[in-house]
Amino acid sequence: MALATKTPTFNGWPVFPNDDIGSDFKAVTVRATVVQASTIYYDTPATLVKAERLVAEAAGNGSQLVVFPEAFVGGYPRGFVYGVSMAYHTTNGREHFRKYHSAAIDVPGPEVDRLAAMAGKYKIHLVMGVIERNGYTLYCTVLFFDSQGHYLGKHWKLMPTEAERLFWGFGDGSTIQVFETQIGKLGVEIYCAPTADSSNEWQASMIHIAIEGGCFVLSANQFCKRKDYPPHPEYVFASAEEDQTPDTVVCRGGSVILSPSGTVLAGPNYDGEALISADLDIGEIARAKFDFDVVGHYARPEVLSLIVNDQPTNPVTFASTSTKIEEKSK
């Protein structure tokens, strides 16, 4: 796998991921890796083993930030219809959803603890796409960890796309967060975009986000062949099944790293499983903002403004509980 070889520096001195550089240090150059690899479907323990192997490889090549694809832990149900049609569900479809639900993880939970330990062991900032089990509803979730092995928080997919709405719940504004870390602000300065979209149009969207946001964009997608999923008839790819062989590519990847100017730093890769790496010159963010700062000198809040409801939207609340809280506060 081709990897960048330039060593990050700080004030002219080389900086490596294992250096103890203090909590007030802000890296000048960050080596980032996006992982392009497939889930081991319906086998979450094996997927976590694979994830650690890939993290170890990226860390061994100097990476300080590693971003995994959407739904890497738990799986992306590509091409699967779960026996669903309007006002109709099959018994087999319900059973397949049970298996998918079983492969998902709880947050917090033992898998989250393992991912945190992984980040701390290899001293990398880790961004991991998972399928989260919250009761009996599943969410497409991204988890964030720092290089000390701390779980920072999560982001729920706000609006599942197309048929994803059959399987995943809608996120809310409580998980639209920015995580300030030693290597920069994840979500603003370094925009991590786990995805399942391998289209050419996705590449255009990523370039636009990089330029509009004046940020680095790290887009990680799975590369999958038919043989990476359970065999037919256990897993059926809708009407395309008859045209597929074990080596048929069902997701071609396209993972990419972009600068704040929209320049491609690495990728897009369509060749197979890979680690795609680049060195991010953090100074590029300020250079890009000089031209176009959407929430700074380019903002016109008296004309256009954005209000984000960042409160959890719990489906059930109890008036008696809120009344008791109010009485205690008096």
Strands (E), 102-252: 125-134, 137-145, 151-156, 179-181, 184-186, 190-195, 216-221, 223-225, 249-252
pLDDT value at residue 323: 59
pLDDT digits (tens, 9 = 90+) for 182-217: 999 999 999 999 999 999 999 999 999 999 999 999
pLDDT value at residue 330: 59
pLDDT digits (tens, 9 = 90+) for 109-122: 999 999 999 999 99
Residue 4: pLDDT over 50: no
Q: Please name the residue ranges forming H helices in the chain.
A: 44-60, 91-103, 110-122, 200-213, 283-291, 319-329
For residue 322, what pLDDT band results from cuts at 50, 70 and 90?
Answer: low
pLDDT value at residue 213: 95
Check residues 11 and 240 and name the one with the higher pLDDT. Answer: 240
The mean-pLDDT minimum among 138-147, 207-216, 233-242, 274-283 falls in 233-242
Using CA atoms, how far apart are residues 47 and 129, in angstroms rounded to an integer? 12
For residue 251, what pLDDT band results from cuts at 50, 70 and 90?
Answer: very high
Residue 313: pLDDT over 60: yes
- For residue 176, how many other CB atoms are within 10 A of its CB? 14
Check residues 235 and 238 and name the one with the higher pLDDT. Answer: 235
DSSP annotation string for 268-286: EE-SSSEEEEEEEETHHHH
Q: Catalytic pick from 52, 70, 111, 212? A: 70
Query: Which domains does the chain possess?
Result: 9-304 (3.60.110.10)
pLDDT digits (tens, 9 = 90+) for 36-71: 999 999 999 999 999 999 999 999 999 999 999 999
70 is catalytic: yes
pTM above 0.85, yes or no: yes
Residue 240: pLDDT over 70: no
pLDDT value at residue 90: 86
DSSP annotation string for 189-201: TEEEEEES--SHH
Q: Tell me what the pLDDT averaged over the chain comes to.
A: 89
Using CA atoms, how far apart are residues 64 and 125, in angstroms rounded to an integer? 6
Residue 179: pLDDT over 90: yes
